[in-house]
C-alpha cells in the first residue's frame, strides 16, 4: 500500500479569533461539549506525553476526569511508568485528537499530584471492578501471563469481600497545570487555523494566531 498518496481535504469549517472565548479553559469546555454531542468514541481521551529519566519520550492515552481553571485531571498508579516520568520531569504535553471533527487541542504544562482527599473522592465513585483493578495491577511491571493478572484481581475480591474498597496508597490523581493551550482546526488546501493561548507572568492569557 502506498501511504504517501493517502490524503483528504479538511472541510469541516474554519476557526477565527472571534469564535474563541477569552478563557482557554472555557474554550476547551466548549469543544469538549461539542465532541461529546458528536458521539465521538472516548471524547475525553487525551494523549499524555512524558520524558523519563533516560531522556526517552513516551505517549499513552489517559482519560480526562476533571477540568477547571486549575488544570486537567487524570488518575493512575503512582508506580507506573508515566508516574515515574512525571516525578523526574513534571513538564508534560496533552493532546486531544478529535480527527472526526478535524480538530486538535494541545496542552503544555506541569503535572502535579492531587491531594489524597481529591483522589479518594473520585476513587469512591469508580465502579467496584475498577477499584479492584487499581489494587490488583502493579502497573507497568512485567507479568507471566493473563491468568496471573486475573488471579491477582480475584485475590483482591476475596480480601475485601462485600465491604468498602479503600483507595490504594499507591494510586491517585495528577493535575496538569497549563501554560500553553493550542486549538487547531483543519482547513482546505492545508491552510489550517491555529490559535495558541500562552499564560503571562501576571496570570492572564495572551492569544496568538499561528501559521499552519
pLDDT tens for 68-78 read 999 999 999 99
Give me the pLDDT at residue 13, please: 78
Residue 61 grid coordinates: 492515552
Name the β-bridge partners of 96: 105
Give the model confidence (pLDDT) of 151-192 as tens digits: 999 999 999 999 999 999 999 999 999 999 999 999 988 999
Q: Quick count: other Cβ atoms within 10 Å of Cβ 80?
A: 18
Asked about 190 being catalytic, the answer comes back as yes
Give me the pLDDT at residue 157, please: 96
At residue 56 the predicted structure's pLDDT band, cuts being 50, 70 and 90, is very high
Give me the pLDDT at residue 2, please: 78
Give the model confidence (pLDDT) of 80-104 as tens digits: 999 999 999 999 999 999 999 999 9
Q: What percent of the chain has pLDDT over 90?
A: 91
- Find how far residue 150's CA is from the centre of its chain: 27
Q: What are the structural domain ranges in the chain?
A: 11-124+171-210, 127-166
| Catalytic residue selected from 26, 58, 190, 204 | 190
Give me the pLDDT at residue 146, please: 97
At residue 11 the predicted structure's pLDDT band, cuts being 50, 70 and 90, is confident
Helices 146-160 and 128-136: crossing angle in degrees, nearest 10, is: 120
Q: 49, 82 in Cβ contact below 8 A? A: no
Give the class (CATH, top level) of 11-124+171-210: mainly beta
List Cβ neighbours of 189 (8 Å cut-off, separation of 6 or more). Answer: 9
Residue 183: closest CA among 17, 54, 6, 12: 17
DSSP per-residue string spanning 137-191: --TTS--S-HHHHHHHHHHHHHHHTTS--PPPTTEEEEEEEEEEEEEEE--GGG-
At residue 202 the predicted structure's pLDDT band, cuts being 50, 70 and 90, is confident
Q: Does pLDDT of 59 surpass 80?
A: yes
Distance in angstroms (rounded) separating the CA atoms of residues 127 and 122: 11
Q: What does pTM read for this prediction? A: 0.94
Q: 31, 105 in Cβ contact below 8 A? A: yes
Angle at 51 between CA 45 and CA 53, to 5 degrees: 140
Amino acid at each position: 500500500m502506498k501511504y504517501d498518496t493517502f490524503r483528504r481535504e479538511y472541510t469541516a469549517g474554519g476557526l477565527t479569533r472571534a469564535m474563541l472565548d477569552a478563557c482557554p479553559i472555557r474554550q476547551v469546555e466548549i469543544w469538549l461539549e461539542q465532541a461529546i454531542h458528536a458521539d465521538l468514541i472516548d471524547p475525553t481521551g487525551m494523549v499524555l506525553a512524558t520524558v523519563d529519566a533516560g531522556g526517552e519520550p513516551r505517549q499513552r492515552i489517559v482519560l480526562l476526569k476533571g477540568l477547571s481553571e486549575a488544570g486537567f485531571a487524570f488518575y493512575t498508579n503512582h508506580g507506573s511508568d508515566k508516574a515515574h516520568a512525571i516525578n523526574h520531569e513534571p513538564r508534560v504535553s496533552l493532546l486531544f485528537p478529535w480527527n472526526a471533527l478535524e480538530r486538535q487541542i494541545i496542552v503544555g504544562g506541569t503535572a502535579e499530584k492531587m491531594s489524597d482527599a481529591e483522589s479518594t473522592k473520585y476513587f469512591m465513585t469508580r465502579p467496584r471492578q475498577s477499584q479492584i483493578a487499581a489494587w490488583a495491577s502493579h502497573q507497568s511491571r512485567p507479568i507471566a501471563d493473563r491468568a496471573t493478572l486475573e488471579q491477582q484481581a480475584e485475590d483482591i475480591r476475596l480480601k475485601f469481600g462485600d465491604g468498602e474498597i479503600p483507595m490504594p496508597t499507591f494510586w491517585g490523581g495528577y493535575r496538569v497545570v497549563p501554560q500553553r493551550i493550542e486549538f487547531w482546526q483543519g482547513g482546505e488546501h492545508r491552510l489550517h487555523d491555529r490559535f495558541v493561548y500562552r499564560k503571562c507572568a501576571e496570570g492572564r492569557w495572551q492569544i496568538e494566531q499561528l501559521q499552519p
